[in-house]
Each structure stands twice: as C-alpha cells, then as structure tokens.
Amino acid sequence: MTDRFPLSSRSATWLLCCSLLAVSSVQAQALRPSTGIRAPAMPSTSVARTADFIVALVNSEPITNSEVRQRVVRLEQQLTQQSAPVPPRDQLARQVLEQIVSERAQLQLAAELGIRVDEAALAQAEQSIAAQNQLTPEEFRRRIAADGVDINQLRNDLRNQILLQRLREREVESKVRVTEADIDDFIRERQGNNDVASLQLNLAQVFVLVPEGAAPDRVQALQARAQSVADRARAGGDFAELAREFSDGAERANGGQFGLRPAERLPELFVETTRSLSAGAVAGPVRSPAGFHVLKVIEKRQSGLPDATVNETRARHILLRLTPQLSEADAVARLAGFRQQLVSGQATFEALAREHSQDGSAQDGGNLGWAQAGQFVPEFEAAMSRLRPGEVSPPVVSRFGVHLIRVEERRQSTLTARDQREMVRGLVREKKINEALRTWIQDVRGRAYVEYRDAPQ
C-alpha cells in the first residue's frame, strides 16, 4: 500500500503520481548507467537553452533533452525532501538517461505484447491519487493546474507507470514461486545477522522544516521548537499527537510513522541515530539539510522469523461508492447524517451498515474483522488509528469511496508458527521478485538498440 502524499508543491504533485504504483526500489539499482553513456549536455548557449534536441534513440524512438532535464529536477526535489544526498547534476543526468532508456525499451515491449491502459483504468488511478489526498478529481485537476503542471503530460506519465507495472506483473511477478525450502533457507541465512542489510525499522518522526536561506535566529527558534517536541515525547507525550500538531512531514497524518521497512530504504542519518535504540526510545532533534528531526523507534526487527506478537484492530465501516449519481460531497453529507443518528442514539452502526453500506461486509454489520497494521489503504488506516475503541470517525475519503469508521477494540495478538512462516513467505517472494526483476530489466535493456547523441554545437 502506498503512503499518503500531500499536494503542497509542484514537485510533490509529480512525485505523487510517480510513486502511486509503488515501482520496486530494485529498479533504481538495476538502472545504473553502463560504460560509455554520456550525460545529456546542458549547453550554455541561448539557442540550445530554447531549442530541444534528441539525446538518445531507443529502437529509433527519440528521447529528448527536455525529458531528461525535467526528470532530473524532479529527482533532485525528491532527494531534497527525503533529506538524502543529491549527486552532482551530470552524474544524476547519466543515471536518469539510462533509466529512461530502460523504461522506453520496456514500454515498447508492452506495446508489442498488446498491453494497453484504457481510459477507465487511467481515470481510476487519477481518482486514487486525488482520494489519497482527500481531494475530489476536480479539486485535484485544479491543484495540478495551479502548480503549473500539464495535466496531459501527467496523465501520460501515469499511463506509462501503469503499463510498466502490468508488464512486470505479467513477465516477472506471475512467474515467481516460493517453496518451503526457500523459506527455511531464508530463515537460516538471516537469523543472528546483525548488519543493517537485515535490519527493519518502523520509525516515526516530527520534522521541523528549516526554509532555505533562513536567518540564524530563525534556525535557532526552529531548533528550540524541535527540542521542545523531543522533551515532551521523552516525558511520555503521545508521539502521534505531537507529529500531527507540529510536524511538517507528509507522514504526519499517520502519526509521523513511516511504516516498517528495510533500514537501507531509510535515510542513513535516521538509521545511524536510532540503530542502538530499543523500541519506544526517542532520539534527536538531529539536523539534516532539510531541517530538524525528532525520531521515535516504533518497531525494530532483525531478520529471521517476524515478531511473535502484532497489534491488531477490529473495526466496522459503512462505505458509499462514488458514482455519476452520487458525488463525493453528497456521500460525505449522507454519512455525516448517519453519524449524527449514531451520536443521538437513533440508530446502531450495524443496522446502518446492513442497510446502506456498499461493501461485502455490509451483511455482517460492516465488521472488518481483526486486522494488522498495513492491511488497509493508508487514508483509511490513518483515520482508523486516531480512533479510540467505541469512537466513530467523520466521513473519510479513500480511493474506494467515502467511509464511516468505528473501532470496536484493539489487542496484541501472538502469531502462530504457521502465521510467522507465511509472513516470511511474503518476504522471500518480495526478494525473489526483486532479483528476477533486476535480471529481466537488464535483459530487456540489452536487447534494445540504443544510439546516444551529442548536443548540437
């Protein structure tokens, strides 16, 4: 499931669309530039700055300098937002060019295989982005226009991402199999391993943004704000509430949590700061180029069998799906009315769910059963995580429609050995997919005819 990304800037808008489909991180590792690839020239003449030119051909299909430059800028913005090091532009341009070359070869293969993305699928993906940010499709398009982004170019990029995902699912993911022997080997290899490569962390942060070029007294004030948050967190304050109130990070809606992920997918600063800490400990504030970070270790795992205990939530919901006849505003209004009936005692949640919910859980009074963190889409889970048992949420917009949510109870559950092995099965499958995807990408790239061109003089 993907994280929620607020649409606060042009770069956030573009990165939101590129990340919607959660293209595997192995893609970047597999697309490092090969020997002899030249960075697209960044000419200094006024003519070259205004006239676009071809920097490469992939099976006679051109890649232009403007395509590379636009993606370089977006990647620089993304790295800056993640407080990650930004390579020199020439080096980044070489990497980006090779990534575009590889993607172009894959898109050409998708066309040869007859893989298509129809308008309905594209509209659904666009609506999903809007829903993740609690926007209607119309509001999303207005925000895109206000950010100066061409909606047609954005839709084309989104279509290509869907095509790449479908192609990889067909050619790679559908062919990966995990055996019991694979699971046993994985456990033996990684038990007792204490290096970062086998470490998984769920960190939460309160991020205090320091504007570029901020005066020293402003920086000092922001540092004091971060220190105050850290002191309150160490004194027992609710970290999730502190994140929602003070953080400038996109993950603040989820209590500041990044979710459990391999340590190598987190900024090195975060890993080194929290590596020696146990779950529940607070670190910081620490300084990065982007600002100050107060970090809390929510969960920490060293690979092997997953943790024997997990936190689970049992909730109910009422779902109204959006249709041409039911707009988002109308759905929100209807659910607000249902909530008022619940508060006043005029109806029960179960009865309203059976009568009105457009979800398979309706016949069971909206009961979703026991669920672990990460099983629901982020916008739903973020709202659910803020509720105490017995509380009912305001209407919540997700990619599936509009929900009313009630948390019934929470518990800490012990996993059986079988459940643990099934979780390991998922980890092994992901690892095998990444390895197979890396090989497949290199093979597709190797079969393409690529011609690199110099900038015009």
> Which pLDDT value is given to residue 111?
95
What is the assigned CATH class of domain 10-175? mainly alpha
pLDDT in tens, 73-95: 988 888 887 777 888 998 999 99
pTM exceeds cut of 0.75? no
> Which pLDDT value is given to residue 29?
26
pLDDT in tens, 212-230: 888 999 999 999 999 999 9
What is the length of the chain?
Answer: 457
Residue 383 has pLDDT above 50, yes or no: yes
Residue 33 has pLDDT above 60, yes or no: no
Alpha helices in 191-238 (DSSP H): 216-234
Percent of the chain at pLDDT above 70? Answer: 84
> Which pLDDT value is given to residue 19?
37
Handedness of CA 215, 220, 224, 227 (dihedral sign): positive
- E strand map for 3-162: 54-58, 61-64
* Angle between helical axes of 119-132 and 151-171 (0-180°, round to 10): 110
What is the assigned CATH class of domain 193-302? alpha beta
User: In which residue are the tokens 């038990």 written?
Assistant: 191
> Which pLDDT value is given to residue 134?
65
> Which pLDDT value is given to residue 412?
81
Residue 232 has pLDDT above 80, yes or no: yes
Longest dimension (CA), the chain: 77
pLDDT class for 307, splitting at 50, 70, 90? low
Q: How far apart are CA 124 and CA 401, in angstroms?
A: 11
Residue 200 has pLDDT above 70, yes or no: yes
> Which pLDDT value is given to residue 423?
80
> Which pLDDT value is given to residue 190?
64
Cβ atoms of 74 and 7 within 8 Å: the answer is: no
Q: What are phi and psi of 150, to 5 degrees?
A: -70, 115
* Angle between helical axes of 378-385 and 119-132 (0-180°, round to 10): 20
Q: What is the mean pLDDT of residues 328-352?
A: 93
Our measurement of the distance from residue 49's CA atom to the centroid of its chain's CA atoms, rounded to an integer in Å, reads 34
> Which pLDDT value is given to residue 287?
92
> Which pLDDT value is given to residue 197?
66
Q: What is the mean pLDDT of residues 279-297?
A: 90
> Which pLDDT value is given to residue 378?
81
Residue 160 has pLDDT above 50, yes or no: yes
Residue 356 makes CB contacts below 8 A (sequence gap 6+) with 318, 320, 334, 338, 362
Backbone torsion region of residue 374, taken as left when φ is above 0, otherwise alpha when ψ lies between -120 and 50, otherwise beta: left
Cβ atoms of 295 and 273 within 8 Å: the answer is: yes
> Which pLDDT value is given to residue 153?
85
What is the assigned CATH class of domain 310-414? alpha beta
pLDDT class for 304, splitting at 50, 70, 90? low
Residue 48 has pLDDT above 60, yes or no: no
Q: Would you list the domain boundaries of the chain?
A: 10-175, 193-302, 310-414
Residue 364 has pLDDT above 80, yes or no: yes
Token digits of residue 321: 């799906």
Residue 152: how many CB atoms within 10 A of its CB? Answer: 8
Alpha helices in 172-266 (DSSP H): 180-190, 216-234, 239-246
> Which pLDDT value is given to residue 193?
53
Token digits of residue 45: 């003449």
pLDDT class for 195, splitting at 50, 70, 90? low
111/148: higher pLDDT: 111
Strand partners, 323: 326
Residue 20 has pLDDT above 50, yes or no: no
Percent of the chain at pLDDT above 90? Answer: 42
> Which pLDDT value is given to residue 132?
66
* CATH fold match for the domains 10-175 and 193-302: no
In the sheet with 450-452, reading across from the earlier edge strand, the strands are 61-64, 54-58, 450-452
